Structures are given as structure tokens and as C-alpha cells.
Structure 1
Amino acid sequence: MRYFAQFRAGLGELVIDALRRDLRSVKVVSSDGSSLIFDAGTDPSTIGNLGYLKNAFSVLGMIRRCSAQRAAEQFAEQVLSTPMLRRQGRTSFRTMVSVDGRLLGLPRPAKTRLESAIAKATGARPSPRGGGVEYWLIGRRDVESMLFCQRLTTGIKPGAAGSLGADLAMLLVMASDPRPDDVFLDPFAGSGSIVRARMALPYGRATYSDLAAGAPYLQVPSAIRRRARVTVLAEDALELPSISSGSVSSIVTDPPWGEYDRLDVDFAAFARRMMASFDRVLQPRRGRLVLLLSRRAAEVTRGLWPSANLRLVQSHQLLVNGHSASAQIGGRLPRVG
């Protein structure tokens, strides 16, 4: 089945990797900086529940790029002459139009023609205020086709001010190859976005750690404090005295970047101690690590993975709040002999 998905600009590489982990037989048809069209052998309800997609749609029809009015007329004809809406339930619906990122209104004759066709094919009634199924006519600047889609999601929820977005946090967690028995750690947990994303999936135990966790100006979210099998620590990530050596199976974290944060030492020295700390606590055979860093900081940490007995497997270039960033993904070096 064909789908259209939108996501925050700059996250495309991580989104495609996550889709390939989550879904069956993913084939990317086209992509741009903030959206993609892809085929997958997965039902629409699964696509709609992917928390890292801003919006997701099942593609019901495609025609050559044209005006929104002409597209509405052609899709109305297809709705009446093909079984594209055969499985749609008898619920209310509304139609929306988005062309090159802008919401548009259709001329009344074209809108009426499209809505009448949908009503006849489904037995449903149009409801301008929403509340039912949403059918979207979509055109993208870099796509040669107009799409007729059914919306599957209601949009991602924003994170707390100053925190990572829920979508990026989930993408970083997905990049760690999460497993149901994981002993998870975020040693620079801050607002808890990454820990909350990890808690949304099956896990063994999880640790939220941040030096400021006990300070009045940083309150650990209650959803984390009260969750079973979650430990809250206020410890220096460069030491982690409460974490036993070799006890953590995965670390996903957004450490200070050294450009916008104050550090007591230069970033290179900080990074060496950080990677040594991670080397100590990660399990010797299956430990995995995901770092979100500025591009400049990533150049420093890139050379430190081998010294921490870790292999850097992937490095994705991203944009985070307008800043150039890198997601570094890897794990333990394979044992020889």
C-alpha cells in the first residue's frame, strides 16, 4: 500500500531508517526535505500510530500535477468510477487541500463535486467542522503528481519548552535498536524527552540521570518519577557512580554540545571522559550507543568511538531547532576469536 508522510525538516534520514525498522517491505518512492512517499506491506492503523511522523496519509489516488481545481474534478471522477473508497466506513468526512505547504480553498463547484462523489461512494455526509474522516488533496513542489489521501494521524504533540521534540526523541530511540529486555540509560536526561520515548516501548529497566535532577529549576516529570522500573539519579554523566560496570545495554542521549552550553573543561576533554564513562557502564557484548551532537562536536567524538571499544556504524546529518546536528549510532566492537 502507498503512503505519504510529513516530518520536521532535517530528520529525513532518521525517519527512513525508522520506517525500515518498524514496517515490512518499505520502498521509498520519492522524498524531499520534510516528506516522503513510500510503499509498505503494513496496514494503515500501524502507520497512523508512528509517533515520529508529523502527519501520515494513505494514498488513495495519484494524477499528474495540475491545478487544485482540476485535480478535485479528476479525483471526483475516480471516486465514482473506481473502488478506491470501497472500504471506507459510513462516517462523517471533510475535504482539505494543501499545495506546496499552503492550505487552499477550492472553488465551490469543484468542492461540491468532490464531496458529492465521496458521499455517494461511502454513504457518509460532509462535515466542514471535522470530527470524521479527512480526505486530503495534496501537491508538493518536488513531486510531479497530485495525491488524493486519507489522513491517518492527528499530528505529533509538542514537547516541553527547551526539550527535544517527541518525534526526534522517538527517532533516536528507534535508532538504538530497542529490545524488550533493555537496561536503558540517558545520562543527560534533562526534560526527559528521550526517557519518555523509551518508556513508550517495552523495556526491562530504565534510568533517568541528570546532575540537575534534584534542583528546584529542573523538575523530573511525574510520568518518569512514578513509572515502575525507572530509576532517577542526579549524577555526573562522566562518573555515574551508581551504575554498575557493564550493566547497561543501551544509552541514548543528547549531551552538551560545547557550543551553546557552558562546560568546565574544553569539549575534547569532556568528550573523552564521557566516552570512557559510557565504555565502563555499557555491556561488553551488546552495548549500544546513540548520541545527538552538533556537527562540530560530532567531529570530536567521531575519533573517540574506537578508544571506548565502540564502533560507529551510522552518522546522520540533521537540523535541530535550526542548528546543524549529527546523530551518531553504533555499539560494541565485535569480538575477535
Structure 2
Amino acid sequence: MTSYFSTFISGFTDVIEQLVNRDFPDVKITMLLDGLVVYSTEAPLQQVRKTRYFNNTFLLLNQFPITPPGRAEGIVRRLASDVDFKTSLRPLMLARNSSFRLIVSRENQMISVDKGIMRNIEARIISATRLRLGPLKADSEFWFLLRREDQAFLGVRLTGLNTVQKKPEKGEVSRELAYLLCSLSDPQDSDVFLDPFCGSGAIPLERAKSYPYSKIIAGDKDRGLVAALKQRAGIKDFEVATLDATNLASIADQSVDKVVTDPPWGLYDSSGNSTGGLEALYDALLREFCRVIKPGGLVVILTARKELLQDLLKRKAVKKLLLQQTYDILVSGKKAGVYVLKASA
């Protein structure tokens, strides 16, 4: 088996464990931290690389616990000293004369380490692999990760190198978060799926790419965003429409299996000039979700307005939506929550 470690959005530990076991039947998970998993599998390298719910994945070269505070120089030297680079890098089949660089990260912040130590490690890698140093832009990156859980890792980054990755637009969720939100809705091939705050379409497009479905309805009040998504989509059974989530008149009662959405987090009302419209918005959208969702259907909501949503779910008008699970996460450094609701019969 080949060993890897992958990073993911903090707060989704249980979900990641389930997904990794689903996607890699032979997997052996040896460590599971909040935001990082260490595992071994015989799965092809390309399958590991293409896993959509990980932020980044690394070929594991070495790991060990550290005693805080632990000087970075000593940890980095020890991580590299035990590695036979020629043997360890064989699964990657790196081309001779391709470039590499070293990166040290402590608690998600890149740091500098004594240049003499780094030069010594670079020389060992060059001698063992015939790679060349590319300090600014490289074909391969060797990452030294020093985690707040007092664990240290050395790995070769497998994802996000030399590829053009689309950055999320303002207010758009990342691909990884969109995948996880869709996964929480228990996707089925018979699903009618709705996102009435689709924006540029990250969530419904991810559902269409990653899971089967019967029909997807992606809507938004912003006609410009709707028009842009219509041009991007071009997918079978993928309907894009101008929708008001507080009045989904075009959608029949009990006709939707899954709702996955990211409603506004800030001040909002239909006229755009009120400072107290967010409660009214959330109240109205929950009422509409109650109306359109089928019995047993699931609603997944991402919001930073956790207290507001929790208070509204206690109201009699939306008692049909039963809270199943809550995940506390960070989105672009802001605290948010993911709520999984199930419609009662």
C-alpha cells in the first residue's frame, strides 16, 4: 500500500472518514485530525489525486509526534533524515531534471528555516533523484507540515501544481465545500435537486459533475448570474431559472427531493434598503422549503447566521424540518454552520 495525507475543511472530520472509506474500499486510516487524514491504499495514484473533497493531497514520506514548542529547524532536519528519497519517490515516477522546491508550514503559515539545513536537504534530494532546484516555481513541492496537534509530516504535494485552477468568485463556495454539501444530502439518482441561491452555480454544477440525479433546478434572483450560468451549464436535465427563494411559485408542492443552498449571510430584504430583512428572508425560505420538499427529503443549508437559523427552526410553521446534524466550519476565515434538515411525513 502507498501512504498519503490529505487536508480538508475543518469541521467535516466524520464526513471525510465516511467518504474515504466509501471511495477506497481497501483503505487503512492511521490518523484522523480536524482538517487532515493519513491513510494507505492500493488505489491508483490518479484516483487519489482526483478526490474532490480534499484541499490538497501529499505522498507521505515521514511523520512523527513532536513535543511543543519544538524548534522548526530540528523537526525539519529529523523529518528529512530518515527518508530514502530514491525509494520513497518511486511511485511518482518523477522525470529527471524536473524541478522541485521545499516548503515549511507551521500551523498553516509558511515559515523560514535555517538556510544551511534546507541546502543540505536539497542536496540529498538532488543526489538521490537527479531533480533540479526550482525555488520560485517547481514541478514538485516537498512540504514539511508542523501541525498544532503536535504532529509533523513530510510529503510531496500531488494536487494543484502546474494546473490552472478557477478561484471561487466573491461569495462562491469552493469546489471542495460544494462537494461536501452535496454529499450531506445523501445523493440518489432519482433526485430532483434544488438550489434557489445558486449564484454562479458552484453547488448545482458540483452535484451534476459528481453525483447522478433526475433533475437539477438552479435559481437566483440576480438575472445576470442566471444568464451567465445558462451559458456555462448546457447540461441535460439542468434547469436554470430566475427564482425568488421566498416565493417558489413555479415549483410544485412536495416535488423536490433535496435542497442544498448557501443563502445570504448579510443584511438583506427584497427592496435592498432594509437593515432588518434577514430574519424575514430566512423565515420565508424555510416556509417555502417546507412546501416544496417531499416527505423524507433533505435540506442542507450553509450559513454564518447560526443563531438566527436555529431560532427559526423552533417555530411551528417550519416544524416539518427536523434537524439531523450540524457542522461548525470556517469559510474564508469566517465561522459558519452547515445544517442538515429532514422533512417529516
Measured against the shorter chain, the TM-score band is 0.7 to 0.9
CA distance in 2, matches of 1:99, 1:211: 42
2:236: which partner in 1?
228
Write the mapping of 1:9-88 to structure 2, written as runs, cut at 5 A.
11-14=9-12, 16-23=14-21, 24=24, 27=29, 29=31, 31-32=33-34, 35-39=35-39, 41=41, 43=43, 44-63=45-64, 65=66, 67-80=71-84, 83-88=87-92
% same residue: 24
- Superposed CA deviations along residues 249-271 of structure 1, whole A, max 9, x for unmatched, are 211012234x5222578555544
Runs of 4+ in 1 over 6 A off after TM superposition: none
- 1:244 deviates by 3.0
Q: Which of 298, 302, 326 is equivalent to 1:288?
A: 298
- 1:159 aligns with 168
Give the Å deviation of 1:61.
Answer: 0.6
Question: C-alpha deviations, 1:76-132, integer Å up to 9, x for none?
Answer: 442339943343414224131223134345555433432343344445444445443
Per the alignment, in what secondary structure is the counterpart of residue 91 of structure 2? coil
Query: Is the Cα–Cα contact under 8 Å of residues 268 and 300 in structure 1 kept in the other structure?
Result: no
* Corresponding pairs, count: 324
1:147 aligns with 2:153: yes
Matched residue type, 1:137: F
Q: Which runs of 5+ in 2 are unaligned?
A: none
1:89 alignment partner, one of 82, 86, 93:
93
8 Å contact from structure 1 (residues 52, 171) kept in 2: yes
Task: State the 1:185 CA deviation.
Answer: 0.8
Q: Distance in 1 between matches of 2:84 and 2:3?
A: 20
TM-score normalised by L of structure 1:
0.79
TM-align CA RMSD? 3.4
- Find out whether 1:193 has 2:202 as its counterpart: yes
Q: Aligned pair 1:253/2:261, yes or no?
A: yes
**1:193 positional shift:** 2.2
Q: What do the CA deviations read for 1:270-310 (whole angstroms, capped 9, x no partner)? A: 4444233223322334x221012211222233325994533
Once the 2 structures are TM-superposed, how far is the Cα of residue 176 of structure 1 from its aligned partner? Answer: 1.4
Question: What CA distance in whole angstroms lies between the structure 2 residues aligned with 1:311 and 1:40?
Answer: 37
SS in 1 for 2:206: helix
The structural deviation recorded for 1:322 is 4.8
**Alpha carbons 1:157, 1:166 under 8 Å: kept:** no
TM-score normalised by L of structure 2: 0.78
